[in-house]
C-alpha cells in the first residue's frame, strides 16, 4: 500500500501508461481523489457527476445534459462542500482535457456533456454556500 499525498500523485504502470490521482478533497468526502487514465483520457470521478435515476430509466451515457440536471442537482448541492472547492476541481480537470468523466453511479459524460458538466459544476452554489437556506438568514 502506498499512501497518496494530499496534492495527488502519478502511478506509472508497466505498460508505460500513467494513472494520475487528482485531488478531489471535499467533493463529497474530505480525502477524495479522482483517477485519470492518461492513455484513454477517462477521469474516474468517484461520486462527482453521480446521478440518481428512476427504476428502468438509467442510460450508459449522458445524451442531453439539460435533461440530466434534475438527476444530479440535489446530490451535488447537498454533498459538495462549497463552490470554491467545486470550481478548483473543475479547473484541475479542465487542464486534463478528459474525453470522458466516469462516475461510479449513473451515466458517463462524453463529448459536449463533459464541458457542460464542468461549466455547470464550476458555478454551482452548494454545501456551505447554502447555509442561510438551511438554517435561515
In this structure, what CATH number is given to the domain that contains residue 93? 3.60.15.10
The C-alpha cell that represents 21 in the structure block: 490521482
Q: Let me know if residue 33 belongs to a domain.
A: yes
Q: Specify the length of the chain in residues.
A: 137
Q: Let me know if residue 35 belongs to a domain.
A: yes
Total domain count for the chain? 1
Q: Let me know if residue 132 belongs to a domain.
A: no
Q: Are 54 and 67 in contact (CB under 8 A)?
A: no
Within the chain, residue ranges assigned H as helices are: 65-79, 83-96, 112-123, 131-135
Beta strand segments in 13-89, E = 18-23, 33-37, 42-46
What would the pLDDT profile of 29-65 be if each residue is shown by its tens digit? Answer: 888 999 999 999 999 999 999 999 888 889 999 999 9
Give the Cα separation of 8 and 81 in Å (integer).
19
What would the pLDDT profile of 60-99 be if each residue is shown by its tens digit? Answer: 999 999 999 999 999 999 999 999 999 999 999 999 999 9
Entry pTM = 0.93
**Domain range for residue 94?**
9-125
Amino acid at each position: 500500500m502506498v499512501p497518496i499525498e494530499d496534492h495527488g500523485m502519478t502511478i506509472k504502470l508497466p505498460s508505460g501508461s500513467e494513472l494520475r490521482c487528482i485531488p478531489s478533497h471535499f467533493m463529497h468526502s474530505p480525502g477524495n481523489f479522482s483517477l485519470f487514465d492518461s492513455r484513454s483520457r477517462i477521469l474516474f470521478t468517484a461520486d462527482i457527476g453521480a446521478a440518481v435515476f428512476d427504476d428502468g430509466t438509467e442510460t450508459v451515457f449522458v445524451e442531453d445534459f439539460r435533461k440530466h440536471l434534475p438527476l444530479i442537482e440535489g446530490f451535488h448541492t447537498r454533498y459538495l462542500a462549497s463552490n470554491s472547492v467545486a470550481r478548483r476541481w473543475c479547473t484541475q480537470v479542465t487542464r486534463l482535457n478528459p474525453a470522458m468523466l466516469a462516475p461510479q453511479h449513473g451515466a458517463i459524460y462524453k463529448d459536449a456533456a463533459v464541458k457542460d458538466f464542468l461549466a455547470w459544476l464550476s458555478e454551482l452554489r452548494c454545501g456551505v454556500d447554502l447555509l442561510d437556506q438551511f438554517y435561515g438568514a
